[in-house]
Structure 1
């Protein structure tokens, strides 16, 4: 009995560790997008309930970053700076090859990189000269304003570069990563089923050209399971569903697509499309470093909500869709809340609003690419977006 209990405890710890630090991601070179601008996506899974956006004045470059709302250390979990350099990570669980105990400095590393790196070469120099042990085990992804796009499988002493511009490595111009490293120990790590799901979805949408909209709606909001070859959205009359190895999960707290720039474009155009909270119930807003501290209040920390309003709204809807809080209740979705035959599920209700907000800004993209960002116009659009977003959420939220 003691042995069985120990195995059960260890298994629970492993599962909690994986779910608390897991993510799904992609880097797309400009050759695979309709407008030639690269994309970098991170779907964040974490044990931390809330996150929000912060604007920071760095040593060399100012930047925007995703931070935990319950922390004052302000580690960065995805971000972009004014030079157009952007960085993210997914945790790896098969690359560490030493007994170093103090780890998990990934957020600290990314914050420092945003402060001092202008491009891919700067980042590689940063990694080369960082003191060892680096205290990380992660797949870092970067894009820059000069065509750089790569993953770096990194542990305490070394890194392996995976260049998205290498046609032998990425023939279609993109790479997908979850929670294992290809240079790590075979069949260890996590996220293999999510990896296959994401690969399948990206292959399906690739012929139409990859865009921020298609990545959010077709991948981050997807309930496709590659092992079962089943999409839960095909089951509109089912009241409950088991949630296991899906891309969006109970632990999902944000989805971000950073839309870079082509060579020669002004790096200020680099756009951080941001969904805060549970992605299937979230609405994306585009952010730009140029706006400095004048970012929309919907993505900034609010003392009222103890996080960003958008994160709070989307998380509350997630909580309503995961109403069982004892035992393994977080693995069971009250599916009819999210998706149903009547078309009144949260996802179905919010998608038209999502598209309206996306189009509100996307319609100005060509103009801004030609003339530069119009800060006053963007602030007016934020106000218009808020007037559409808040009523949509208030209609769906049930607050006791």
Structure 2
């Protein structure tokens, strides 16, 4: 794609949206451009929390093949790209209007990667409770999950994401709707080195270009302002730089024509005795009208790790040996995906941590470098098909096609490990605190052997398996990058490699051994 002109008129949009807001949808996410990583490849991370459907923990990867179908009169792109998505069996993975399988995170074969979190402060119910009109079409509008599917199957540049959002603000011809049925926040990267975060309700959205590394100020607050970039000139391809993160509330300072403010924070927000407390006049971007103490705590913890002075790579988001700053100089392993805070000698509740007793999967997307060959086809999806603390992240290439059959029951194998750290008898979730979610405390002895991350217990062999896979992957991706394969050969080698790696990883995981 040629470099775009810096003008409003040529803004295109990429949209990625998850399901409409429900009390069962939370999550944390982060994104880093290649300029802020070690090897120049962008990285996006997501941890999903879900407890509103009984089988939402039965997570699987799936492959979608483009079929040139259209969702309605406003569909300018049609289904044109294949993608790899992460979904779940049962109702939570199916769009209720179209019966289409929908993704919660994923990447397509053109190098577009996306992750998502629910937007609690963008819901129609939230707006109405605070005196503003409903913006979603709650009956006929496209759901966030279906919108995710549209983005991955239609967009290759983040400006096309924006265009899709513009085209669907008034329904886009979908199902005779007047607007979307969405309240979500997505972060997206593309193969040209660009990254942005979109905050989306039913009939409007904001665009927050990733152009800086957000850091704590002298008072320890993440108080930098996030402006809406959708109607101003965007950076040229490759000029994006930095990192950003989200939990479950909007951070972009923008007001809808009806007066509804996306960004409502005008105070410093703290959590005291598990309650959100606002005071002073220091905007910190984490006040969503006192809606969620968990979201505030998780936002701060994600920010601290993103603010760690080490440059990031995909391993950092999963688990990596580094000279730690975020957890103090005593420790040497950093992680977003598996973090449950400092590890005491006794059991601890994980309700307010990045990885929680309601977490159902983790995903880390590694994009292509700007000068990589194959037009984005080296993009990789590392996925843990269960709660990340006890899972292994396995590598998948969206371009390689259908995922190996070894992953069809991986969620069951991970659930067996989860039972060693969370004690429950009912596998089905029946809410936030019943069934598999009834016990909120994790068994530290079983998880780490009473030591630190990766030093004992379940994590000793899971970290060992992943470290072996990291070495295998780094060698393979370097060979691919320096090679000169035709696309069919590339696809075949990717498919064979990932099948062998995943088979080995799964075998060791079941046997509790390390390659």
User: Residue in 2 aligned with 1:152?
Assistant: 198
Kept in 2: contact 1:104–1:137 (CA 8 A): no
TM-score (norm 2): 0.65
Distance in 2 (CA, whole Å) between partners of 1:245 and 1:372 is: 48
Kept in 1: contact 2:397–2:494 (CA 8 A): no
Selected match of 1:298 from 400, 406, 419: 406
User: Residue in 2 aligned with 1:106?
Assistant: 144
User: What is the CA RMSD across the aligned residues, in angstroms?
Assistant: 2.6
Return closer, same or farther for 1:105/1:383 CA change in 2, 3 Å cut-off: closer
User: Residue in 2 aligned with 1:304?
Assistant: none
Kept in 1: contact 2:396–2:498 (CA 8 A): no
In the TM superposition, what are the counterparts of 1:61-80 in structure 2 within 5 Å? 61-71=81-91, 72=94, 73-80=100-107
Deviation at 1:81, TM superposition (A): 1.1
Deviation at 1:391, TM superposition (A): 3.6
Q: Does 1:311 align with 2:390?
A: no
In the TM superposition, what are the counterparts of 1:1-400 in structure 2 within 5 Å? 17-18=22-23, 20-47=24-51, 48-58=56-66, 59-71=79-91, 72=94, 73-96=100-123, 97=127, 98-99=133-134, 100=136, 101-102=138-139, 105-130=143-168, 131=171, 132-165=178-211, 173-182=242-251, 183-186=262-265, 187-188=287-288, 189-190=291-292, 191-204=295-308, 207-217=309-319, 218-224=335-341, 231-232=342-343, 235=344, 237-238=345-346, 240-265=347-372, 266-293=375-402, 295-299=403-407, 308-324=408-424, 329-341=438-450, 344-371=456-483, 374-396=490-512
Return closer, same or farther for 1:318/1:372 CA change in 2, 3 Å cut-off: farther
Return closer, same or farther for 1:201/1:94 CA change in 2, 3 Å cut-off: same
Distance in 2 (CA, whole Å) between partners of 1:378 and 1:267 is: 14
Structure 2, unaligned runs of 5 or more: 1-20, 67-78, 95-99, 128-132, 172-177, 214-223, 227-239, 252-261, 266-286, 320-334, 426-432
Distance in 1 (CA, whole Å) between partners of 2:184 and 2:439 is: 26
Distance in 2 (CA, whole Å) between partners of 1:395 and 1:82 is: 34
More helix by share: 1
Return closer, same or farther for 1:387/1:290 CA change in 2, 3 Å cut-off: closer
Return closer, same or farther for 1:378/1:247 CA change in 2, 3 Å cut-off: same
Distance in 2 (CA, whole Å) between partners of 1:254 and 1:370 is: 33
Say how many residue pairs are matched.
360
Distance in 2 (CA, whole Å) between partners of 1:324 and 1:197 is: 28
Cα deviation code 1:277-301 (max 9, x no counterpart): 11111112221122113x22233xx
Deviation at 1:392, TM superposition (A): 2.8
Structure 1, unaligned runs of 5 or more: 1-15, 225-230, 300-307
Return closer, same or farther for 1:249/1:115 CA change in 2, 3 Å cut-off: same
Cα deviation code 1:71-110 (max 9, x no counterpart): 4541111111111112221001112333344478111001
Cα deviation code 1:201-255 (max 9, x no counterpart): 2222xx332111111121111111xxxxxx02xx2x32x2222201111221111
**Secondary structure, counterpart of 2:149 in structure 1:** helix
User: Residue in 1 aligned with 2:276?
Assistant: none
Return closer, same or farther for 1:322/1:84 CA change in 2, 3 Å cut-off: same
Cα deviation code 1:357-379 (max 9, x no counterpart): 22111122222112267445444
Cα deviation code 1:37-72 (max 9, x no counterpart): 111111111121111111111221111111112245
TM-score (norm 1): 0.83
User: Residue in 1 aligned with 2:8?
Assistant: none
**Secondary structure, counterpart of 2:116 in structure 1:** strand
Distance in 2 (CA, whole Å) between partners of 1:208 and 1:215 is: 12
Distance in 1 (CA, whole Å) between partners of 2:248 and 2:391 is: 23
Distance in 2 (CA, whole Å) between partners of 1:61 and 1:377 is: 20
Deviation at 1:348, TM superposition (A): 2.2
Kept in 2: contact 1:37–1:260 (CA 8 A): yes
